[in-house]
Amino acid sequence: MKLKLFLFLALICCFFSGEAMASDPLSPPLPLELWGMPFKQATVIYAFLAALLIFIGCFIWSRGLSKENPGRGQMLLELIINAFDNLCKSSFGTKERGRLYLAILTTLFLFVWTSNMMGLLPIPHLAIGGEVFTDYNANEHYDPGEPYIDSNKNGAHDPGFILPSPEEPTADVSTTLALALLLVLLLGHGSEIYYKGIKGYVEEYFSPGGFIGVVMMPLNVVGKIAEIISISFRLFGNIFGGAVIISVVSGLVCYVVLPPFLFGFFGVFVGTIQAFVFTMLALTYISAGAAEEVEEDEASEAMKV
């Protein structure tokens, strides 16, 4: 059943990519523009690479688990899963409710963390196949990421398959906004409607109730929108800012001594902290609507365990 679904999805993907290629034989395999919106190749390629790395990594990681003789990798895996399990349990009230959201939140953390680390990959800018225009000085607006269009020769050069140099997918606002919409809007608001019903969900916007609630309604609505803006732009600002600082300061010191430390701080340290912050905020926003009401005794017991 799952295999059939997977094959179906793969077919759909092939169809769309084939259509994009058929529209212009000279265009690169990934469209530069989709439905009138700009399309950043580096973001898409490295987001898929991150997902692939997580998939392969976790697949290998979870082979050969044993109860009696856990290895180092298993201990680390258990540490991560346990930490998120405890967080979910304390935020969602009960263990069962927390387990419902455990998988997506852990996956989110792994994806955001791996995406933040993508800038560390030592991949040069590559153009595979195709006729590449190499005289950069002839056109001062030449951008290696875009197919080169020479207006004098009345035609586009075929750039072949372009593999852009690594860029963090999270340094593109479309990735972070998509993640924020998926988690806060779909999962957070969706599960709030599921658990409280439409009536309970709407009442949330008139939160203190009575006349004050009516006055506060627009504020609550704007506050909900602000949640999405702040969660997505926090991640974007940190990662994009880190990338800008790394490139500018590395250039200032002529790529001597400092760049590894810059990558260590802005790449690894800030990337890890921001991945955790993003996951924690998503957890907080989702659990605000979806937490299970527990009795006092149960709550204190749940905190102890």
Partner 1 sequence: MEELHVANVAAYLGAAVAMGFGAIGSGWGIGYVGVGAARGMARQPSKNSALFRSMLIGQAVASNPSIFALVISFLLYSYGGNDKLQAADSFAQAAAYLGAGISIGLGAIGSGAGNGLVAADAVEGMARNPKESGPVTIMMIVGQAMGQTPVLFSLVVSFMLLFTGEHGNLNASEEFVTSAKLLSMGICMGFGAIGPGLSSSYVGGKFCEGLAKAPEAASELRSAYFIGGGVAQCMSIFAFVFTMILWTA
Question: CA 117, CA 272: separation in Å to the nearest integer?
Answer: 9
- Would you give the binding string for partner 1 spanning residues 110-129, x where CB under 8 A is met? --------------------
Between vectors from CA 103 to CA 43 and to CA 280, what angle results, nearest 5°? 70
Tell me if 101 contacts partner 1 by CB under 8 A: no
Binding flags for partner 1, 42-81, as an x/- string (CB under 8 A): ----------------------------------------
What binding mask, one character per residue, do residues 124-163 give for partner 1 by CB under 8 A, x or -?
----------------x-----------------------
Among the listed ranges 54-62, 155-163, 197-205, 270-278, the one in contact with partner 1 (CB under 8 A) is 270-278
Candidates 10-18, 25-33, 197-205, 239-247 — which segment interacts with partner 1 by CB under 8 A? 239-247
Q: Given the complex with partner 1, which of 49 and 181 has the nearer CB atom?
A: 181
Instruction: Give the total of residues touching partner 1 (CB under 8 A).
Output: 31
Complete DSSP assignment for 117-166: HGGG-----EEESS-----GGG-TT--TTS--EETTTTEE----EEEPPP
Question: Considering beta carbons, is residue 98 or 242 the nearer one to partner 1?
Answer: 242
User: How far from 221 is each of 228, 230, 238, CA to CA, in Å?
Assistant: 12, 14, 26
Is 237 among the residues that bind partner 1 (CB under 8 A)? yes
Distance CA 40, CA 30 (A): 9
Cα dihedral sign, 73-74-79-82: positive
**Nearest by Cα to 129 from 163, 165, 161:** 161
Q: Under the criterion CB under 8 A, does residue 82 sit at the interface with partner 1?
A: no
Name the minimum Å distance from CB 301 to partner 1. Answer: 12
Interaction between residue 34 and partner 1 (CB under 8 A): no
Residue of the chain from 200, 209, 269, 298 that contacts partner 1 (CB under 8 A): 269
Give the residue among 124, 108, 257 at the shortest CA–CA distance from 184: 108
Q: Is 71 exposed, middle or buried (0-12, 13-18, 19+ CB in 10 A)?
A: exposed
Considering the rule CB under 8 A, would residue 276 count as an interface residue with partner 1? Answer: yes
* Cβ(119)–Cβ(167) below 8 Å: yes
Alpha helices in 206-292 (DSSP H): 210-252, 259-262, 270-290
Give the interface segment with partner 1, choosing from 128-136, 154-162, 186-194, 266-274 (CB under 8 A).
266-274
The contact pattern for partner 1, residues 206-225, with x = CB under 8 A and - = no contact, is -------------x--xx--
Q: Is residue 244 involved in binding partner 1 (CB under 8 A)? A: yes
Measured in whole angstroms, the distance separating CA 67 from the mean position of its chain's CA atoms is: 33
Which residues of the chain form contacts with partner 1 (CB under 8 A)?
Answer: 87, 90, 140, 219, 222-223, 226, 229-230, 233-234, 237-238, 240-242, 244-245, 248, 269-270, 273, 276-277, 280-281, 284, 288, 299-300, 303
